[in-house]
Structure formats: structure tokens, C-alpha cells
């Protein structure tokens, strides 16, 4: 298996060079559902790679030509059904998402919509090269200007209840045809048990792990509330925000935290906001630190863990004065092969990884 990288790739059309790079460097990939040729190529070259197709749980898009769509129910299909599956404001207007033109909120609380979403996705995936679905927009809060109440949905609890039903209907049925469901589970830290429940059919994707943006990272209490996500169940995909530069310090910050708390069993990515059209990469993604030599150890929001093949440490503190002095196990080297220091001072919102020589 090549590294621990996750290729989050549902933007512009991909190139052959990107497919070559992905086959060499990534453990998991999220592609658009119509990118079947790329999925077949990757699966033939890397049968161990987990390939997920993108499907939105909450919206449909009016600009997609088809015949394969990024939503479980296409815009045209919803209109053919009498337009009753589109969410409506109290005055009857449909709800278009803020900042995402052409994205229309669906009635995720409507049993008929849920049933059609599941039936369509099962039919599409059953004989597909994809291993399953990354189900986007398993939302917790109002991120798209819904401004409830809507007709039939007085509050966000109705949205969450509908999505919960959709996940627990689609998950078992996908599993029965040999596919996994990996939702993008928003803000699960705010509802105990939500991550474990929604990830129980193959895994979970956390799109805002450790922070909302490259300059808006979480405080230690918020980060540590997210940490159980790293433990599964299933395939855990964690994405940390950067400014788009793969040498941004958040890349190693998130990767170190990934190793300390996931132990290298999931998949990891670091990108700018909606930067899903290229091959995100850092050489440390290819490292295999081996098996953990014990549990993660923490003190004052700084955490470390030793492995058979290396060592990782992360400091979740925010305050610039809250640096942490850490002892590095002997026999470690950095990415350039130079000996690691015997001890180091790790600044806030920083992480470090070393390999055994």
C-alpha cells in the first residue's frame, strides 16, 4: 500500500498524469461519479486503493448534463416528479444555496425523496468500479443560507433527522451489494455518537479537521473533541485546511495528528478551501511509520506517539507562549535523512514526524 494520502478530486477534469501520480501515491480517492474510466484505471493498477464516488445527500445541481450526476436525484428527475422534492420557503420559492449557484436544497425529510435517492445510487453503484460512495453534505448546521423555517421543516432538527434516516437506509443497502458509505459528517463533535453512527457503513470523512481554514484553526478543547473521529469505524478520511501550498505548516500539523490518533490506518489530505482539482502531496504522505508502540501520550495539549518505524508529535495549543519541549526517541531521521534532534521545542499548531534510520 502506497502511503496514507487521500486524493480528494472532484473538481476540474483530471489528466492522465494525475492518474499516474495517484496510482503511485494515494491510499484512497474521491472522484466524480462519471469518472468511470479513471476509476477502472486506478483499480486495475492499485486494487488496494479505496475508490469512492461523490454523491450529494442534500442538494441537486441544475447545470449537470448527465447521464450521471453528482446527486442521488438529478434536477430533471426531481422536476419530472412534480417538483415536490425541492425544498421550499414559506412563500413557495425554491432554496438555492448561498455561494453555490445552481445547487438546490432538497427535502431530505421527505420519505419519497429518500427512497429514490437510495434506489438511484444502488442501481448506479452495483456494477461500478467504485468501492462505494462519499456522501457529501451530511450537514449539522445551516451552512448554505437555508434560513429556516421551510415548508415542512421548522428547524435544523428536521434536516438532521432526514439525513440520519437517509444514512441508515442507504448504508446497509450499499453494504449488501458490496459497497461502502462514507459520509462527510459535519461537526459530529457537537452530537455525541453521531460520528460512530454515520460512519458505521464503511467510514467517515471529516472535511474540517483541526480547523475551518488555514488561518482559523481550532482551540485545544475543540480539537480534542474531534479526536474520537480518528479511531473509525471503517475508513477514516481526514482533511486539514491549508492555503493551497503543500508545504504549508498545517500539512505536517495535520499529518502528525493523523498518525498520533489514527495510527496510520485511515487516509489523510490537506488542501485549500474547495481546492479539489489537483494532486495534493507532501513526501511525508508516503511514509509508513509502522505499528504503534503504545497509546498516544499527552501533556498540556501536546501529544506524541512512537511507532515501530518512526515517531510523531503535535501541539494543539494556540498561544504562542505555549510551546512544548519534547524528547525525541533515538535513531530517528528527518525527511532529508538527517539525524533528528534529541529534543525539540514544538510551537503551537505545529506537528512533526520522524522515521527510524
Sequential DSSP letters for 196-234: HHHTTTBEEEETTSSEEETTEEPPHHHHHHHGGGGG-SS
Nine cell digits for residue 240: 486539514
- Report which of 184, 227, 188, 190 is spatially closest to residue 202, judged by C-alpha positions: 184
Task: Give the global pTM.
Answer: 0.96
Q: How much is the pLDDT for 82?
A: 84
Strand partners, 6: 28
Tell me, what DSSP letter sits at residue 96? B
Q: What percent of the chain has a predicted confidence (pLDDT) above 90?
A: 97
For residue 226, give the C-alpha cell.
Answer: 474531534
The answer to whether 5 touches 25, Cβ cutoff 8 Å, is: yes
Please state, in angstroms and rounded to a whole number, the distance separating the CA atoms of residues 32 and 314.
Answer: 33
**Distance (Å) of CA 136 to CA 53, 176, 220, 347:** 10, 21, 27, 34
pLDDT, average across residues 160-167: 98
Q: Is the pLDDT reported for residue 320 higher than 90?
A: no
The answer on pLDDT for 1 being more than 60 is no
Phi, psi values for residue 121, rounded to 5°? -70, -40
The rounded distance, in Å, linking the Cα atoms of 46 and 234 is: 19
At 2 the pLDDT is 67
Determine the average pLDDT of the residues in 156-185.
98
Cα dist from 98 to 4, 93, 102, 146, 312, whole Å: 34, 15, 10, 8, 40
Q: What is the mean pLDDT of residues 261-290?
A: 96
pLDDT digits (tens, 9 = 90+) for 342-351: 999 999 999 9
Listed by start position, the domains of the chain span: 5-287, 289-357
Across 102-109, average pLDDT: 98
Amino acid 274: pLDDT = 93
Q: Which tens digits make up the pLDDT trace of 8-19? A: 999 999 999 999
| Tens-digit pLDDT profile for residues 29-61 | 999 999 999 999 999 999 999 999 999 999 999
Q: What is the DSSP letter of 350?
A: E
Average pLDDT, the chain: 96
Q: Average of pLDDT values for 287-304?
A: 96
For 20, residues 6+ apart whose C-beta sits below 8 A from its C-beta are none
Question: What is the rounded (10 degree) CA torsion for 116, 121, 123, 124?
Answer: 140
* 163 pLDDT higher than 90: yes
- Report the C-alpha gap between 313 and 153 in whole angstroms: 45
CATH classification of 5-287 is 3.40.190.10, yes or no? Answer: no
The mean pLDDT value for 182-202 works out to 97
For domain 289-357, say whether CATH 2.60.40 is its number.
yes
* 263 vs 230: CA distance, rounded Å: 9
Q: What is the mean pLDDT of residues 59-70?
A: 97
Q: What is the mean pLDDT of residues 182-197?
A: 96
Any alpha helices (H) in the chain, and if so which ranges?
A: 16-25, 36-45, 75-80, 111-125, 156-176, 194-198, 220-226, 249-262
Mean pLDDT of 75-87: 94
pLDDT of amino acid 340: 96
Of 163, 159, 350, nearest to 249 by C-alpha is 350
Residue 202: closest CA among 140, 133, 137, 138: 133
Mean pLDDT for the stretch of residues 170-182 = 98
Residue 156 has pLDDT above 70, yes or no: yes
Task: Answer whether residue 332 shows pLDDT above 50.
Answer: yes
Q: Is the pLDDT of residue 312 over 80?
A: yes
Amino acid at each position: 500500500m502506497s502511503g496514507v494520502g487521500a486524493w480528494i478530486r472532484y473538481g476540474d477534469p483530471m489528466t492522465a498524469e494525475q492518474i499516474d501520480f495517484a496510482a503511485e501515491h494515494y491510499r484512497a480517492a474521491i472522484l466524480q461519479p462519471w469518472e468511470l474510466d479513471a476509476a477502472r484505471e486506478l483499480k486495475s493498477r492499485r486494487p488496494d486503493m479505496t475508490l469512492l464516488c461523490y454523491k450529494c445527500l442534500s442538494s441537486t445541481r441544475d447545470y449537470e448534463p448527465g447521464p450521471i450526476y453528482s446527486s442521488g436525484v438529478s434536477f430533471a428527475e426531481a422536476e419530472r416528479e412534480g417538483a415536490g422534492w425541492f425544498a421550499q420557503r414559506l412563500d413557495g420559492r425554491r432554496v438555492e444555496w448561498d455561494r453555490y449557484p445552481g445547487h438546490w436544497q432538497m427535502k431530505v425529510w421527505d420519505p419519497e425523496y429518500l427512497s429514490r435517492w437510495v434506489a438511484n445510487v444502488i442501481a448506479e453503484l452495483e456494477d461500478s468500479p467504485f468501492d462505494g460512495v462519499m456522501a457529501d453534505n451530511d450537514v449539522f448546521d445551516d451552512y448554505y443560507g437555508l434560513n429556516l423555517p421551510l415548508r415542512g421543516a421548522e428547524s435544523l432538527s428536521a434536516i438532521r433527522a432526514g439525513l440520519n434516516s437517509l444514512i441508515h437506509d442507504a448504508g446497509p443497502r450499499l453494504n449488501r451489494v458490496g459497497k461502502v458509505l462514507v459520509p462527510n459528517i459535519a461537526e459530529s463533535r457537537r452530537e455525541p455518537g453521531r460520528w460512530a453512527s454515520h460512519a458505521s457503513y464503511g467510514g467517515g470523512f471529516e472535511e474540517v479537521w483541526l480547523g475551518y481554514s488555514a488561518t482559523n484553526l481550532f482551540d485545544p478543547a475543540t480539537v480534542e473533541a474531534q479526536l474520537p473521529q480518528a479511531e473509525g469505524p471503517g475508513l477514516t478520511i481526514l482533511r486539514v485546511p491549508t492555503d493551497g501550498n503543500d508545504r504549508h505548516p498545517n500539512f505536517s500539523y495535520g499529518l502528525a495528528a493523523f498518525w498520533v490518533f489514527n495510527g496510520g490506518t485511515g487516509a489523510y489530505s490537506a488542501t485549500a478551501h474547495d481546492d479539489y482539482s489537483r494532486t495534493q502531496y507532501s513526501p511525508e504522505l508516503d511514509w509508513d511509520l509502522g505499528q504503534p508502540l503504545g497509546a498516544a501520550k499527552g501533556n498540556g495539549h501536546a501529544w506524541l506517539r512512537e511507532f515501530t518505524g518512526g515517531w510523531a508529535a503535535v501541539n494543539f495549543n494556540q498561544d504562542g507562549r505555549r510551546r512544548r519541549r519534547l524528547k525525541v526517541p533515538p535513531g530517528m531521521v528527518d525527511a532529508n535523512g538527517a539525524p533528528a534532534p534529541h529534543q525539540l521545542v514544538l510551537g503551537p499548531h505545529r506537528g512533526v514526524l520522524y522515521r527510524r534510520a
